[in-house]
Amino acid sequence: MPAATAIIALVSTAASTAYTAYVANDNAIDAKHAAGRQADRENAAATEEANAIREKARRLKGQQVAELAAAGVKLDGSGGSADTILEETDRLSEQDAMAALREGRERAAIVRDQGNLTAGNYRSRAVAESLNGVSSMIGQVNSYRSATAGTRFANQIDQDSASQSFARRNAPRYSLLGSGTGQQRGLN
């Protein structure tokens, strides 16, 4: 019965360890995927923000052109002060759009890094749980061996004693002179 109990305990520990490691690894995969999705949302939001900045700049530039034309300023692309104002509007708005994209990429990178750290933590937990389970199973095997060592030793002694007794036993021998008790009379 102790053997059956020990085997059940080993199987139970192995199953529990395997399941815990599986769940931890599955959580690691989920964390990494979730971080990737969040990073994609950060990049998409940054792209939307950059597009909104560019659209606002186009409207502002249109408004500037209208105001300059209403004031009688000629916009001929000759590099005058009105053209410089419009070029400056384009340049500054593009800088703002690029800054929004850069900040979005940075936020996405941070989210991905956090996801990778979380995944690493889950994987470390899976390894630790696996090692803990193996250690527990080794302990159970050693405990079983200790518990049954005395029984096996006693069985071995009984077997050795029985073998030695059988070898020393005075078994009857048969000869032409008749049966004896193992020692022939006068033939010692």
φ, ψ at 76 (rounded to 5°): -115, 5
Q: Which of 95-104, 131-140, 149-158 has the highest mean pLDDT?
A: 95-104
d(CA 4, CA 168): 38
Tens of pLDDT, residue by residue over 26-80, are 888 999 999 999 999 999 999 999 999 999 999 999 998 888 888 887 777 666 7
pTM: 0.59
Over 90: is that where the pLDDT of 126 sits?
no
Over 50: is that where the pLDDT of 187 sits?
no
Who wins on pLDDT, 111 or 180?
Answer: 111
Closest CA to 128 of 24, 30, 56: 24
Characterise 40 by phi-psi region: left (phi > 0), alpha (psi -120 to 50), beta (else): alpha
